[in-house]
Structure formats: C-alpha cells, structure tokens
Amino acid sequence: MSLPRPPFIAIGLLSACVLAYEVLLTRLFSIVLWHHFAYMIISAAMLGYGASGTALTLSREKIARYIGPIYLAAAIGLAFLMPAAFLLAQEVPFNPLELLWDPFQLTRLLSIYLLMMLPFFCAGTGIGLILSHFGQQAGRVYAFDIMGAGIGSVCVIGVLFLISPHNLLIVLAALALFAAAIATVEMRIRPSWLWVVLLGLAFLVLVAIPPGWFHVHPSPYKDLSQVLNIKGAQVVEERSSPLGQIAVVESPRVPFRYAPGMSLNALEEPPDQLGIFVDGNGPSVLTRFDGRREPLSYLDQLTSALPYHVLQRPHAGPHVLVLGAGAGSDVLQALYHGAIRIDGVELDRNVINLVEECFHYFGGDIYTLPQVHIHAAEARGFVNATRSRYDLVQVALLDSFGVAAAGVYGLSENYLYTVEAFQTYLRKLTPGGVLAITRWLTLPPRDALKLFATAITALERSGVDDPGAHLVMIRGWKTVTLLMKNSNFTVAEIEAIRKFCRERSFDTAYYPEMRPEEANRYNVLTQPYFFEGATALLGGDRQAFIDRYKFFIEPATDNQLFFSVSSSGIHCANCSPCGNREACRFWIGAIHCWWQR
C-alpha cells in the first residue's frame, strides 16, 4: 500500500496518549496497591515497546503492504486496551504482602505485567511501523513523537488536578480514537468515511460512558479498605490530585481514636475524629476542636509531646515549625502547649482546603487562627527558603503504621530523614532549640536506630565533637521520639525528660550519661535493645556495629535516601566493590526471607 506521507499529527497524538497513560498508571497503581509498585509500569512499558520492535522485525516483509491498516489497528487497539488492561489487572488476586512466601503471587504479578504491556505493544507497533516505513523522514517522525510524548506527560499532570485518575482513562481512550481518525485522513486510508466513524466513536466514549464506570478497586489489605469493612463507615468526601487521592471517612459506630503511641496511663480519650486516607493509606485524622484546650489533653500523653516539656519558656510559648501538618494533629498539640506562633508545612493543598473549607466547622478553623500559618510547600524547600528561626522543629509522624510495619515503604524515597535534612533543620533552630522526630516503633529495632545513626552523623558534620550530649530518644509501646539540640541537654532538661517518661510509663532509650539500669523499665523487651544500640552507635566501633547488625541502619543521605530500607538478612561478602550496599542488602534480605519461609 502506497502512503503519501507519514501521519505526523497522528504520531504526536498517539505518543502523547501513551505517555499520559504511563504517567496515569503510576497514580492508579499507587491507589490500587502501594506507590512503589507504580514503578513497575516503566518496565511493563519497556517490555511492550521491546516486544513490538521484535514483532516488527520478524514480520517486516509480510506487513509491508498493509502499513496503513496495521497502524490503524494498533491505534484502535491502544484505545481499547488502555482501560481494558487495567480493569483486567484489577481482577488478578495479587497480594504483595504474601509475595515472599507464596510462590503463586509471582505468577499473578507476571500476569499483571503481561496485561499492562499490551497497550504499550500497540503504541510501539504503530510508532515503530511508521519509523521503519518512512526511514528517510525518520527524523521528522521522531520529532513529532518526542514532542507529543513531552506534551502528553506534562499535560496529564495538570489534568489530574481536574479529573480523577479512573475517569481520565476514558479521556485517553477517546484521544487514541481521535488519533486514529486523524491518521486515516493523513494516510488517505479507505473507505474515506472511516475517519467520521472513528471520530464519532471518540465522541461516544466521552459522552456515553458514565464517569463511575471505570471503578478503582484498592487492595483489600490497604488501610482504607479495612476501615470501610466496619459497619457504618463511609467516605464523606473525596479529593484527587497528582499528589494523591484523598478520602475523608466517617465512622460513627466504631469511632476513630487516633492517638499514636498514647500512654497506657492516659485517662483521657480523643474527641470525635474523621479519618483521612491518601491513596488508601493512613489514617491521619481531623480532630473536632471547639476552641477549648481541655479536650486536647490527650495530646500531652504522646511521645511527641516530649519537646514541649523540655522547652519550658517562663514568659512566652515556643515558636514551632510543623513539617507535614496534614489535617492538624501536630498543630493542635502545639496549640495545647501554648505555642505563640505555629508554621505548618503541608505539600498537598487539597488537605489544607479540606481543613480550611469543607470541614472548617468540624476542625474549629484551626488553620485560620491568628497564631497559625499554613504553607502549601515541600518541607525541605520551605525550610531552606525561610528566614525564620524556631524553638521547635517538629517532623510529624507521616507514615501509616500498617504499611510501615509491613515494610511497604522500603522503596520510598524520603528527603525528610537524611543527614543533610537534619543539618538544615538544626540551622533553623534558635539557641537551645529542639528538633523532634517521631517514628513508629518496629521490632527488632531498625528505623529508630537508623534515625539515631543519621542524627549522629548530622551532628558530626555540623562540627559537634560530642553528639551524644545533643541527643535524647524515648519510646512508648508503639512510637519512638528522637530529640536533637544545637547545644547540650542541661541537667534540668534531662530531669524533665525523666519525669515526663516516668509519669507516662515511657521508656528512656537514651539521654546523656544514662545508666543501663534506667532502660527497659515499662514496655519491657527481652533486652534493652534501643539503649544498647544507641550506645553502640555512639561508641568507637560504630561502623563495625552497623556492618554486623541484622538490619540496614546506615545513616540515610540525599544520595541514599531510602530511609525505610531496613532488610539485611544475610551479608554479601562482595558488596563493597559494587558500591551500592543499600540495594544489595535489600534484595539479598528479601530473597533470604523467601528462602527461609
């Protein structure tokens, strides 16, 4: 079949469509599974492109006469398979939490890969066919291809602010049909009225398919799915953006009582709360606030309240910076302890809007109080840019306990917990100011010791000769809180820490000149692991302790920012030459766990 010229516009549209689809799938898989499974889309796309190139090479002579019809079939196939492959992939009973001990999960994962590669196979076939047939104009074809890819991958981010991810699948299917219609005109494919049919189909897809027809089914093991199994629990508000799909949940029968690691001595209970889930993970909560201080007293029973007892200001409350303000739990804690000014930083503006507008009556307009200033910004970027100095920098408890305990965030990049980040936070403290970081307690200890090692390295790089004099760590039954100061902890501050822990039955894991018998008193473990680990990290054989420890507790840096990677399992004798012990230990540990099942 003789074609007059390449379908430049159709190639650009097809490329825009498939790149937008690839970006969209990273969001959809973050919702359905967990965010790091979204990265498998890149490899599925490369598999599809590679398979299409192989198919074109092997069948070049057979398809030479049918370039136009095959290109058209590839574009129509893309339109059909983009939603169909995703819907079918959701029906595969894949549970990533069983991946290490159930070999059938690998088969199910492979089937998801094969399903997700099909749209990319169609796109690769169409684009590769035109590139090979119009070899003398390959440069121009490639230019339209790259231009379309760039436009598609950028525009999909903006569109995700306006349309939910599953509804965007419909738009992309219509766009692929529109690209096919344009191709029939550019390549003069007969019958001449075919472009009208394809254009009509594109319009029909946009108009006739109801918005809720493509429904996303999150994993039944995600936090939101579990909560919605409770009778009476329901989603009362949803917001979506490229940063995440937010669901606000009300549960009147079994109310939320979110107070992470609250002292077992506490007599108070939280007020009414709404659960807030991002991509099905959580919850964080929006707490009912009526302006009175008394109902917030439960916030003084958390390990994260420790810095307020260290920062005793006789004449004025502290100036506090909350990184990861979310729906305002840490802001309420600062208000309860009399902070005179609170700067809260939250990346997702949708969360801020929910607190300020949609549920302002429930949350008591906390984000519009005169002493509260909320900034929609990335935390590290805000800290680097601000000229303010703070008595307390509070890094909020950002992860959900379920996924943190399961190790799901093992491949999560996190710039908040690196050596360079800690140095930046310390520079923003007033003299005698405190940096406070709260994490979930995991056993055997890994996150807490990695956090402690990171803090030591940050202090040493900041010129501190005795890092141990600047550090305090306590633990409850479910959370660990680390304090860092830009000066030594005083005797009075240490006594305040001991009193705080004694009254709430929290364990002191480390403070300067702490005696071994003071560790492991209330939430008793078989050994004082946290104290022993902290003292070993401060000792002269720190690196030897890190190397022989059964989990990966090397300090996190901006170059090795996977803070939650903790698996070590077995040691690789030859991991030094490769220069990437972090990745090496993770995968060796995973394989070892599977082998020992």
CATH dotted code for 8-208: 1.20.1250
The residue written with tokens 């669901």 in the block is 247
Nearest to 522 by CA among 503, 494, 495, 546: 503
- 431 vs 411: CA distance, rounded Å: 36
The whole-number pLDDT of residue 313 equals 65
- The answer to whether 554 and 582 have CB atoms below 8 angstroms apart is yes
- 398 vs 22: CA distance, rounded Å: 27
295-537 shares the fold of 8-208: no
List residues bridging with 346 in a β-sheet. 376
Alpha-carbon dihedral angle through residues 201, 205, 208, 210, given to the nearest 10 degrees? 170
Decide: residue 7, CB within 10 A, 0-12 exposed, 13-18 middle, 19+ buried: buried
- What sign for the dihedral angle of Cα 287, 288, 289, 293? negative
Quick one: which H or E segment has residue 597?
none
Asked whether residue 597 carries a pLDDT value surpassing 50, the answer given is no
- 141 vs 135: CA distance, rounded Å: 9
Per-residue pLDDT tens over the stretch 98-155: 878 888 888 988 999 999 999 999 999 999 988 888 888 888 989 999 999 999 999 9
The whole-number pLDDT of residue 584 equals 46
Query: Per-domain residue ranges for the chain?
Result: 8-208, 223-290, 295-537
Per-residue pLDDT tens over the stretch 370-429: 999 999 999 999 999 999 999 999 998 876 444 444 343 433 567 889 999 999 999 999
Q: The pTM is what?
A: 0.84
With b for 16 or more beta-carbon neighbours within 10 A and e for fewer, the 13-38 pattern comes to: bbbbbbbbbbbbbbbbbbbbbbbbbb
Could you tell me which residue, 278 or 585, shows the higher pLDDT? 278
CATH superfamily of 295-537: Vaccinia Virus protein VP39 (3.40.50.150)
| Choice among 151-160, 265-274, 409-418, 502-511 with the minimum mean pLDDT | 409-418
